[in-house]
Chain A
Amino acid sequence: MKASPFQYHRPQTREELGALLTRLDNAKILAGGQSLMPMMNLRVIAPDHLIDINRIPELAGIRETAAGIEIGAMTRQTDVLSSETVRSRLPLLARALEHVGHIQTRARGTIGGSCCHLDPSAEQPAVSAAFDAEFIVSGPNGRHVIPASAWFEGLLQSALGEQEYLEALRFKPWANGHGYGFAEYARRHGDFAVAGGIALLEGDRDGRITRAALLSFGVESSPRRLTEAEGALLGQHVDNLDIEPVIEAARSLEAMEDAHVTAGYRRHLAGVLIGRALKEACATLERQS
């Protein structure tokens, strides 16, 4: 369980990072290393070059801008979790991060690393997809933005180009007092979820739903928005939501199976968990008066 030989690089600036990515073949970026190092030690991957981005200060940090809340790719999960901005404006993200690994792994692991690695059960990419977050990417052709709808290309596969890196994520917070719900099932504390569900709601004065995001993760190879079910919620009253079609939508996804879990059980969980998430979102939705 030792990695195969590689060369280690430690750029201090974004420019150096860009230059290394352009110059080097078969290179991997090292962020928190919580996914990358195990894969290297198990020799699942064998990069020739490792580019450590831990010393580029501009890549970490949380700022509120006119365009939304920007979270640098290198921001540690633990810092995202404890950020006042995140807790008050993006409570769903904080809620989800409590389920990411353990104190120790969150102290190293980064939000960008998780969103580039794209484990199907990962919470941070799932929350990003629920928020329609924007992925700010830099590369030889400068900086550009990839919307969440285009970011997820498949199992462990993002839309990031070979010579590009993720600089930050941008979240547009929902209205103050929006409802949010998060439910996942993992066998043990801190394990990757077997499946999970996310719900975001906005409502009008009367308690009618005006905006909804519903998402299942850990079920298909990428987080999956339940777009039709979202549409069906609009106009319904929060006290009297028809939850069954939402559960049914999650239950009819193409679920993955593995050595432990059948597709059938995963679909069952997807239904249970989206139901729980939605109920929690209803409960947290503040009535505007």
Chain B
Amino acid sequence: MSARYFGAAVTRLEDARLLAGKGQYVDDIELPGMLHAAFVRASFAHGRIRSIDTSDALAMPGVAAIYTMADFEDIAHGPMPPMAPHPLLKTPITYHPLANTEVRHVGEAIAIVLADSRAKAEDAAAAVVLDIEYLPAVSDATLACDANSPRAHSQHTSNIAATMKAGFGDTAAVFAKADHVLTEHFDIHRGGCHSMECRGVVAHIDLLTGALTISTSSQSPYMVRRHLAGYLKRDENDIRVMTPDVGGGFGPKANVYAEEFAVALAVIKCRRPVKWIEDRQEHFVATTQQRGQTWTLDVAFDNDGRMHAIRGRCIHDNGAYAPYGLILPATALASFPGPYALEALDLSLDVVLTNLVPTSPVRGACRPNVAFLLERLADRIARHLGIDRQEVRRRSFVRADQMPYSTGMKARDGSPISYDSGDYVGALNLVLDEIDAANFPARRNEAKQRGKLRGLGIASCVEDTGLGPFEGASVRVTPAGKVVIASGASSQGQGHRTAFAQIAADVLGVELEDVTIETADTAKFPLGISTIASRIAVTAGSSVQLAAHKVRAKAIAFASHQLEVDEHDLELAGGAVHVKGIPDMKIKLSEIARTLSGNTGMPMPGDMEPDLAATAYFNSNALTFAYGANACEVEVDPDTGDIRVVRYVVVHDCGRMINPMIVDGQIRGGVVHGIGNALFERMIHDEEGQPLTTTYGDYLLPMASEMPRIEIHHMETPSPRNPIGVKGAGEGGTIPAAACVISAVEDALGPNGPFIALHPISPQQVVTWLDRN
């Protein structure tokens, strides 16, 4: 079997369609008699609903129905099921599909209005009259920890929903004998997500099967099915969930949302198809956000700059609900100790409820926060000791000869976490070479002539990828000789079709164009988890490989029987099984598939099982660890405080690459996300929990015009933990990027400048810092 496609930067099979505007997104779905939904949403952060008066709104033109939670009483009731129950969360903290009595953040959905157009639904939503008893709100997680703070949920006795712990080793002992101990306080801003396509749902009842049929812009169609079935007390088979083309996910779309439930309930109630398309204003107040945290950390290190132990505490701003349980804060703890070989670690994290939009994993989840903490600490140690930043890292990183390396941490199932493979120091050395760090002083001087302060930043990371348990795949050859892959792994634009096709085409000896893919339809494949956590290449990619091998074996067995040739003398190429060295002695896959589809009254040849097809589930039992080292250069205008990233170099290792072009795209986009975190994106709320930045004029996303050229270099250390040697690549660009940019800005501001322990930073802040020098 030759690797014609695996590892090749083939252009994406998806793109001709998507770039020509032929994508089919949720909003492209039109159904006869379809109603359009708009939600009445809270304009206040905390309050109790005394009454809802819909009478004026119902009388408005084009309005078909308006429902509140009370109207669904005969179908279902109570809060939504938690997606990821956690023993520390005694009672789940989830939304009701529509708020029942207490409303806990601006934007929470209170009623759903159905009309014959979205505009009319919005007109009517504005006419719904709410009688609200306003309650005090808390919008700052640190203040929320105070015993006298208002409660985000009025029935709770504390805003601290859970206290999570992690660590290993004898921290006290290591600190006691350390040469140096430093304490730093970090403040990491929450930020939003902002996939290009907002969320959206179209639901109807299929008249033929009676199934509640839902198309949703989601990363988790199977979770929507599972939890909706549980909530409605239906069989999963009575619910079909599809994700058509999805215009970006990045994490928030992995949640099962109140709006998905509310639309489904409305459809059951009104018996007509309903479409809801989230607009950008709603997205700012109803789609989960990133990862606001404050940390206080002590670090113990020796005179050489070797890091020995870390201890500390985190306040995690969870927002008003925990739809995804404690997954997000858990990723913070699980991301320690990064690339550092520590002797001891002792962490405590308070999950704090606030009257803000809930947070959940967004590209990297809390891994970027932890990369920021660790990399900032490394720079801090270097500064303290007056040694090179690189040296602290070289002396503290896990070495290549220590692989596989048990970090001391435990996985969710209690098993020890062990890094599978990699060379973290090697990656750092390579990135410093590529950016030409040795000649940086000359570039700094040249910038100074132009009145600019130039700085060099570095940051590394390790990223757990390939989260279990599985994504399955089936591979089938049609009687026309085409290969169809079905999988539960939904795509949000990552290029799954191309990557899966590359894997299967090599195994089956067919052309790339002969492979198509069916995903994201619960009716087409029985099981699925979610497209999250950089896991699809590892899980589904491996399953495609395994299933394709089963199909290959079956084709060979068939040919061996027909041609009366030993199986070992057969191979697949050109869409056929042929005798090695005699390409003309062959049977086409199409012929095998046609025969195995059966002929009336004829026995199956060799008594083989019908259908040239197979299904496989690769159980991803151990994480695979990708890693990277980044370096960048910034220029600061000391007069305006403007910061420009002028160079950005990535060295990344995600094991074997199925398609380097797709990997590069993931990394490049990821870096841009991180630059946004470092310099631009700021979701500002006032003390009452009112969001102040809910348009793209106020909430600054990074734009192409501000981005540097991002150079990417790869190392390829295959993972021993899956059949195709891959590690995930979806988040590795983001994880160290904010840390890298901030490191560069700090370097630009010079030895008298501040230690920067927060992001995003603003030009205004830079001017203040320089003023203080």
**Residues on A facing B (Cβ under 8 Å):** 1-5, 38, 42-43, 185, 187-192, 259-262, 265, 268-269, 272-273
The complex places the Cα of A189 from the Cα of B118 at a distance, in Å, of 33
**CB <8 Å contact, A42 and B682:** no
Within the complex, the shortest CB–CB distance from B157 to chain A, in Å, comes to: 33
Among A3, A5, A38, A185, contact of B642 (Cβ-Cβ < 8 Å) = A185
**CB <8 Å contact, B700 and A188:** yes
| Given A2-B118, A5-B119, A260-B762: A189 touches B706 (CB 8 Å cut-off) | yes
Closest partner residue, chain B, to A102 (CB atom): B705
The complex places the Cα of A38 from the Cα of B694 at a distance, in Å, of 13
Among A5, A188, A261, A268, contact of B123 (Cβ-Cβ < 8 Å) = A5
**CB <8 Å contact, B119 and A2:** yes
Chain A CB within 8 A of B595 CB:
no
Would you list which residues of chain B between 408 and 452 have a CB under 8 Å from chain A?
none
Chain A CB within 8 A of B553 CB:
no
Chain A CB within 8 A of B763 CB:
yes
A259 partner residues in chain B, CB cutoff 8 A: 684, 692-693, 698
**CB <8 Å contact, A3 and B703:** no
Chain A CB within 8 A of B280 CB:
yes
Within the complex, the shortest CB–CB distance from B610 to chain A, in Å, comes to: 53
The complex places the Cα of A187 from the Cα of B639 at a distance, in Å, of 14
B764 partner residues in chain A, CB cutoff 8 A: 260-262, 265
| Given A43-B126, A259-B698: A188 touches B680 (CB 8 Å cut-off) | yes
**A5, A190, A265, most chain B CB atoms within 10 A:** A265
Chain A CB within 8 A of B513 CB:
no
**CB <8 Å contact, A269 and B640:** yes
A260 partner residues in chain B, CB cutoff 8 A: 682, 684, 698, 762, 764
Chain A CB within 8 A of B259 CB:
no
Q: Which 5 residue pairs spanning A and B have beta carbons closest together?
A: A189-B705, A2-B119, A1-B279, A265-B764, A259-B692
The complex places the Cα of A171 from the Cα of B680 at a distance, in Å, of 38
Q: How many residues of B contact A (CB 8 A)?
A: 31
**Residues on B facing A (Cβ under 8 Å):** 117-119, 122-123, 126, 279-281, 639-642, 680, 682, 684, 692-693, 695, 697-698, 700, 702-703, 705-706, 762-764, 767-768
B702 partner residues in chain A, CB cutoff 8 A: 188
Closest partner residue, chain B, to A266 (CB atom): B764
B126 partner residues in chain A, CB cutoff 8 A: 4, 43
**CB <8 Å contact, B692 and A187:** no
The complex places the Cα of A187 from the Cα of B762 at a distance, in Å, of 9
Within the complex, the shortest CB–CB distance from A155 to chain B, in Å, comes to: 16
Closest partner residue, chain B, to A3 (CB atom): B119
The complex places the Cα of A30 from the Cα of B706 at a distance, in Å, of 32
A to B CB contacts below 8 Å, 6 in the list: A1-B279, A4-B122, A4-B126, A5-B123, A185-B763, A265-B641
The complex places the Cα of A43 from the Cα of B694 at a distance, in Å, of 14
Closest partner residue, chain B, to A268 (CB atom): B767
Within the complex, the shortest CB–CB distance from A281 to chain B, in Å, comes to: 18
**CB <8 Å contact, A188 and B705:** yes
The complex places the Cα of A4 from the Cα of B642 at a distance, in Å, of 40
The complex places the Cα of A188 from the Cα of B705 at a distance, in Å, of 7
The complex places the Cα of A121 from the Cα of B59 at a distance, in Å, of 43
B280 partner residues in chain A, CB cutoff 8 A: 1
**CB <8 Å contact, A190 and B705:** yes
Within the complex, the shortest CB–CB distance from B421 to chain A, in Å, comes to: 40
| Given A262-B764, A268-B767, A269-B640: A187 touches B279 (CB 8 Å cut-off) | no
Among B639, B695, B767, contact of A42 (Cβ-Cβ < 8 Å) = B695
Within the complex, the shortest CB–CB distance from A225 to chain B, in Å, comes to: 23
Within the complex, the shortest CB–CB distance from A259 to chain B, in Å, comes to: 4
**CB <8 Å contact, A187 and B767:** no
Closest partner residue, chain B, to A269 (CB atom): B640
A42 partner residues in chain B, CB cutoff 8 A: 281, 695
B706 partner residues in chain A, CB cutoff 8 A: 188-189
The complex places the Cα of A98 from the Cα of B639 at a distance, in Å, of 22
| Given A259-B693, A261-B764: A272 touches B700 (CB 8 Å cut-off) | no
The complex places the Cα of A260 from the Cα of B764 at a distance, in Å, of 9
A43 partner residues in chain B, CB cutoff 8 A: 122, 126
**CB <8 Å contact, A188 and B640:** no
The complex places the Cα of A1 from the Cα of B280 at a distance, in Å, of 8
A273 partner residues in chain B, CB cutoff 8 A: 640
**CB <8 Å contact, B763 and A187:** yes
